[in-house]
Amino acid sequence: MPADTAIEWTESTWNPVTGCTEVTPGCAHCYAKTFAERWRGVTAHPYEQGFDLRLWPSRLDYPLKWKRPRMIFVNSMSDLFHEDIPFEYVERVFAVMHKASHHTFQVLTKRHERLSELAPHLDWPPNVWMGVTIENKRWVVRADHLREVPAAVRFISAEPLLGPLVGLDLSGIDWLIAGGESGPRHRPVDAEWIRALRDQCRQEEVAFFFKQWGGVRAKSGGRDLDGREWNEMPQVTYATNRHKNGERVTRQRDIADSADEKWFLKAHSAAKHQILHGYLGAWLAILGRRHKQLWLIDGFAGRGTYMEGEPGSPKIMYDRAVELVEARHVENVGIRCSEKDPANFAHLKRVFDQLPSHDGVTVKVTQETFQEVAERFLEVAQKQHTPPPTFVFVDPFGISGVSLDLLRRLMKVERLEVFLTLMVRDPARFLEQENYAAPLTELFGGDTWRACIDAQDKPQCLMRRFQDLVLDGIADYALPYRVFEDERQTVLYYLVHLTNNDLGMREMKKAMMKRTGDMSFYPVTIRPPDQLALEVEEDSPYSSLQSWLRSA
């Protein structure tokens, strides 16, 4: 029978090795050692030798006998990468994990140097998660070693957390577990250390699991952090985690669009919404002078609001439209929002059902794809001699659901412009994985994206290839705005503005881009005062915008 466990982030334990030795401060009050030493000298007890290191070859085949798939913590009573465990034995453990592919195995070590030494010589099956313990800032270096391991999921256990993890780099990390120490001599954890890790995980889209506050007993302090439990897990699809040439690649986590962890507002999304808010204000105000009706389309509307109540793009569209109608800058605005995910759509519908109706702003929310809502729009536009000016916001999770052919047909509509999120970080990491081939080919209208597989700067290559395709007969202008995900200026995606219109606003944008080259955002808009004259967000009467219009 499998050894079921009360450890919150796993289901069972498997100990083909028991016993260990202390290496860092996190080991000082080791629960495993305390337990094992109780039985030292008890004849025939599994821990007759206390916490001395011991190999158990007879236990190697245990997971093969467990038929129900389960999450298994490997060596909860030891460290698989202990320096006294022969490499051949570690290989045997990995062979079992490979064979027992119906289970998920979680391996955790404090011995990062031996992990780095052995990892290149091990066969890493996709059902093995590899983690390191980091208890204080002295050991954040373990994350650097972990990043070099070709595991399907990489995780950090910040338990027992003994201090703030200053300088922790979460790039390439999928999951972080945090918790305080338990036991009679437990060292208390500071809530701000935990919050800092949670906030960093939310910022960098790393799953966060809060295990316990700790105390005399593990459950003494409970598990609530700021009014709730945090039980996020890395959701993965088990595709290969190696290139065909054998080189390591970082694993992607496949998170459902409706998962709560996707709906905490990140800094880069806040910056994107700031741009949307400011630009819509100018767009509605200026085009509203000449046209009685304007249309807004949000093709990937999502939930409408975020977990803590911040407005999403559909709500920003609505609020901005109401503001401009009431200020008499525009007479009527029609908004169409589509969202294909059932759970997100239900949330989105509730958001708009609770809003007051407005004579000058009409909203239609539908459960359908961007392709479907765009096709409906094109049918209506073709029947009208002069359709209203239209702004289309295309902001998908990932790259699926947007085709170059659809963008081409949309851009043929007079006075229509598109604001598109071009995700490049993950595609650049996984260009050779088959699950990316179809959506990339659809987005690029062919396989020109494959030229970026060997590019030194893959994200920029993808953007340039896409920009060249769009400028070749689809749009007169394709203006890219870089969005960073972190202070290291790792490009997460590009916001690409597509337009054919020769109105002064478009000329202004063209002139602005000639001066700045691009605009970059992390975690808020960067506006060099000697380069950029136009504020991204500006209230009526839009003085700098009007200045640009007069000079364009």
Q: How does pLDDT run along the chain (552 residues), one tens digit per residue? A: 456 777 889 989 999 999 999 888 878 888 788 888 888 888 888 888 888 999 999 999 999 998 888 899 999 999 999 999 999 999 999 999 999 998 999 999 999 999 999 999 999 999 999 999 999 999 999 999 999 999 999 999 999 999 999 999 999 999 999 999 988 888 999 999 999 999 999 999 999 999 999 888 767 788 899 988 898 988 664 433 333 333 333 334 455 777 776 787 877 788 778 778 878 888 888 888 889 999 999 999 999 999 889 999 999 999 999 999 999 999 999 999 999 999 999 999 999 999 988 999 999 999 999 999 999 999 999 998 889 999 999 999 888 999 999 999 999 999 899 999 999 877 887 788 777 899 999 999 999 999 999 888 888 899 999 999 999 999 988 878 777 654 445 677 888 888 886 553 454 354 333 333 343 333 323 232 222 233 333 344 444 444 433 433
Cα Rg of the chain (Å, integer) = 27
Could you give the CA distance from residue 266 to residue 271 in angstroms, rounded to a whole number? 9
- Residue 188: asked if its preceding bond is cis (omega within 30°), the reply is no
β-strand partners of 328: none
Could you give the CA distance from residue 64 to residue 102 in angstroms, rounded to a whole number? 9
Q: Please determine, looking at this structure, whether the domain spanning 261-551 carries the CATH number 3.40.50.
A: yes
477-484 and 416-423 beta bridge pairing: unpaired
Torsional class of 55: left (φ above 0), alpha (ψ -120 to 50), beta (otherwise): beta
Could you give the CA distance from residue 529 to residue 544 in angstroms, rounded to a whole number? 13
What would the pLDDT profile of 154-176 be if each residue is shown by its tens digit?
A: 999 999 999 999 999 999 999 99
Phi and psi angles of residue 488, each rounded to the nearest 5 degrees, phi first: -80, 0
Full-model pTM: 0.55
pLDDT of residue 484: 66
Could you give the CA distance from residue 217 to residue 28 in angstroms, rounded to a whole number? 16
pLDDT of residue 217: 78
Cβ-based neighbours of 541, under 8 Å, separated by 6 or more: none
Nearest to 182 by CA among 150, 223, 235, 229: 223
Measure the CA angle with vertex 416, ends 415 and 421; round to 5°. 150
Domain ranges of the chain: 3-255, 261-551
* Contact in structure between 276 and 536 (CB atoms under 8 Å): no
Amino acid at 101: S
pLDDT of residue 3: 64
Amino acid at 59: R
